[in-house]
Amino acid sequence: MTPASSRRRDLPAIVASIAATVLGAGLGELAAAIVAPTASPFAVIGGGMIDLAPAWAKDLAIDLFGTGDKAALLVGIAVLLLVVAGAAGVLERRKAPWGRVALVAVGVVGAIVSFTRADAGTLSPVPSLIAGAAAALVAGVLIARLRRGRASAASGDDDGVTRRGVLALSGVAVLAGVMATAGSFALSGGARAVSAVRAALRLPSPATTTTVPAAADLGIDGLAPVVTPSADFYRIDTALIVPQVDPATWALRVHGLVEQEVVLRWDDLIALPQKETVATLVCVSNEVGGSLIGTARWLGVPIRDILARAKPTAEADMVLSRSVDGFTASSPLEALTDDRDALLAIGMNGEPLPIEHGFPVRLVVPGMYGYVSATKWVSELEVTRFDRAEGYWTSRGWSERGPVKLQSRIDVPRSGAQVAAGETVIAGVAWQTHVGVSGVEVQVDDGPWQKATLATAISADTWVQWSLPWNAASGSHVIRCRAVSATGETQTSDTAAPAPDGATGWDQRTVSVA
């Protein structure tokens, strides 16, 4: 048999195995919706890949796909699964039963990984085991029919009839898999229930508020608004399936190096005096000039008040916050107990937290990158020490502490934009949260640095808008900006990647003036 003819014989087996895998994956998703919503085979495998991913891989994914990194990961998993399925089909045709063994092995791996998840339950392995077993069973049946058809063809019967029949059955398997997946979405009632609870929830009135000055927003087209709409706020986390937490079942445990363990439930939390503040959050993966930053109006209870109830001991220097899905962040104790508005937040821009942003409760800590502070769906605060515990990303090579660095960004004009010659404007935002910004300077081409006009800052915990009039001459121009902090530090020109503690360098835009 020639290599070409062997490959032609492999093709129906590849199609059959892929179809069987689609059916198995659909049945696995359906089983997850019924018995273990957090153990979706795709989510389990994807979560395991996120957990194992080195820092550079995370940065690359965010750099390439931004907030679409999770969708890209799921697509990547699907493509990889189809490749494995195709290879298993070839293996099953040539050396049965090893193709089926490979498909079962994929399900077993998913089951094992499901046990390692923080939200694992007794039934967590079931969906992955069902997916692997169903894929192996159907692939085995279809490919066995192909082998029998070829045996019949060798004795004079029409092998094409068998191939067409197997391809038709493969189509049925794919359709059944798609329908099972659709059924899993239909049965995901937990998400709908929590959404309904959130929609009906009424937040308590704040005891204190932060005023946003009218002069804080320059009103320039293309410039980021001083307060980011919730729908536009960046989302970076490790949750492929957004946790669905009912406030009625939520609880926060404060323990560790404390004199008194504290447990708060939702009714306890909302009964406390609420504070409304405006704060800017930024992801450590934000490149110079990047968009992984946003400012919102947050409502919640100061974390220092909760920690004061627990009374941390003198040896404590860190708080390990934990999400319901197992994510952890290691925040310096002093950052949660000093004068900044570090909150157990329940509201965002006048509404309950969006589910994907941590509903019902999350941490908001100005001045710290999110990987060491912005735990969503928070369920635990463990008071401990940096030499005894590590957060999720610090255990993967990121810096132990993550204070936000001094940065500025050009929003107007956009890079590559066509600008009309004459009077126009250069504008952007600058920040070093919990320190503040005292000035921004702009350079056009290699000319002198010019002082921009700052908008009125809401507080040191927020970014500030800036602008500079520009008489644009025809030609191509390079625009740069740098910020000056409230302490007199000038933003460095040294270029550094986000890992391990935040990007540095000057943002610049190249524009063409007609």
433-460 mean pLDDT: 97
What is the count of structural domains for the chain? 3
**Residue 112 sits in the same domain as residue 146:** yes
**Residue 388 sits in the same domain as residue 411:** no
Q: Among the three residues 396, 431, 458, which one is the final residue of a domain in this structure?
A: 396
168-175 mean pLDDT: 93
Asked whether the predicted pLDDT for residue 24 surpasses 70, the reply is yes
Tokens standing for residue 139: 């692939």
Tokens standing for residue 497: 């990647």
* Residue 210 burial (10 A CB sphere; 0-12, 13-18, 19+): middle
Model pLDDT, residue 38: 76
Q: Among the three residues 396, 418, 450, which one is the final residue of a domain in this structure?
A: 396
**Residue 388 sits in the same domain as residue 331:** yes
Helix H, strand E, coil C: the string for 212-278 is CCHHHCCCCCCCCCCCCCHHHCCCCCCCCCCCCCCCCCCEEEEEECECCCEEEEHHHHHHCCCEEEE
Asked if residue 165 is part of any domain, the answer here is yes
The whole-angstrom separation of Cα 274 and Cα 207 is 5
* Torsion region of 219: left, alpha or beta (phi above 0 gives left; psi -120 to 50 gives alpha): left
CB-based contact 361:295 (threshold 8 Å)? no
The tokens 């001094």 sit on which residue?
406
For 371-390, give one letter per residue: b (16+ CB within 10 A) or e: bbbbbbbbbbbbbbebeebb
The tokens 């460095």 sit on which residue?
492
CB-based contact 410:508 (threshold 8 Å)? yes
Give pLDDT tens digits for 400-413. Answer: 999 999 999 999 99
Tokens standing for residue 494: 């040294």
Select the more confidently predicted residue: 496 or 186.
496
Select the more confidently predicted residue: 57 or 125.
125
CB-based contact 431:463 (threshold 8 Å)? yes
Phi, psi dihedrals of residue 444, rounded to the nearest 5°:
-105, 125
For 402-413, give one letter per residue: b (16+ CB within 10 A) or e: bbbbbbbbbbbb
Asked if residue 199 is part of any domain, the answer here is no
Q: Among the three residues 396, 420, 437, which one is the final residue of a domain in this structure?
A: 396
75 Cα distance to chain centroid? 15
Asked if residue 98 is part of any domain, the answer here is yes
Model pLDDT, residue 396: 87
Asked whether the predicted pLDDT for residue 247 surpasses 80, the reply is yes
Model pLDDT, residue 5: 57
The whole-angstrom separation of Cα 240 and Cα 29 is 14
Among 312, 314, 320, smallest CA distance to 393 is for: 320
The whole-angstrom separation of Cα 322 and Cα 340 is 21
**Residue 80 sits in the same domain as residue 177:** yes
| DSSP 8-state assignment for residue 474 | S
The percent of residues in the chain predicted with pLDDT above 90, rounded, is 73
**Residue 470 sits in the same domain as residue 349:** no
Asked whether the predicted pLDDT for residue 169 surpasses 80, the reply is yes
| CA dihedral (254, 258, 261, 267) positive or negative | negative
Asked if residue 176 is part of any domain, the answer here is yes
Write the DSSP assignment of 147-215 as a string of letters.
Answer: HHHHHHHHTTS-HHHHHHHHHHHHHHHHHHHHHHHHHHHHT-HHHHHHHHHHHH--PPPPSB-----GG
**Residue 63 sits in the same domain as residue 167:** yes
Model pLDDT, residue 415: 82
The whole-angstrom separation of Cα 497 and Cα 284 is 10
Give pLDDT tens digits for 342-398. Answer: 999 999 999 999 999 999 999 999 999 999 999 999 999 999 999 999 999 999 889
CB-based contact 443:483 (threshold 8 Å)? no
Instruction: Return all residues near 372 (Cβ < 8 A) that are at least 6 apart.
Output: 329, 330, 331, 332, 391, 393, 394, 401, 402
pLDDT confidence bin for 115, thresholds 50/70/90: confident
**Residue 329 sits in the same domain as residue 466:** no
**Residue 375 sits in the same domain as residue 418:** no
Asked if residue 402 is part of any domain, the answer here is no
Here the CATH number for the domain that contains residue 257 is 3.90.420.10
Give me the helix-helix angle, 98-116 and 69-95, nearest 10°: 150
Here the CATH number for the domain that contains residue 454 is 2.60.40.650
**Residue 140 sits in the same domain as residue 224:** no
**Residue 248 sits in the same domain as residue 293:** yes
Asked if residue 204 is part of any domain, the answer here is no
**Residue 485 sits in the same domain as residue 426:** yes
Asked if residue 454 is part of any domain, the answer here is yes
Give pLDDT tens digits for 121-168. Answer: 788 899 999 999 999 999 999 999 888 877 665 555 555 557 788 889
pLDDT confidence bin for 103, thresholds 50/70/90: very high
Establish how many alpha carbons lie within 13 A of residue 19's alpha carbon, considering only the half-sphere containing its beta carbon.
23
Asked if residue 207 is part of any domain, the answer here is no
Determine the 3-state secondary structure of 393 from DSSP: coil
The whole-angstrom separation of Cα 280 and Cα 293 is 7
Asked whether the predicted pLDDT for residue 283 surpasses 90, the reply is yes
What's the chain's average pLDDT? 91
Query: What is the residue range of 243's domain?
Result: 214-396
**Residue 368 sits in the same domain as residue 431:** no
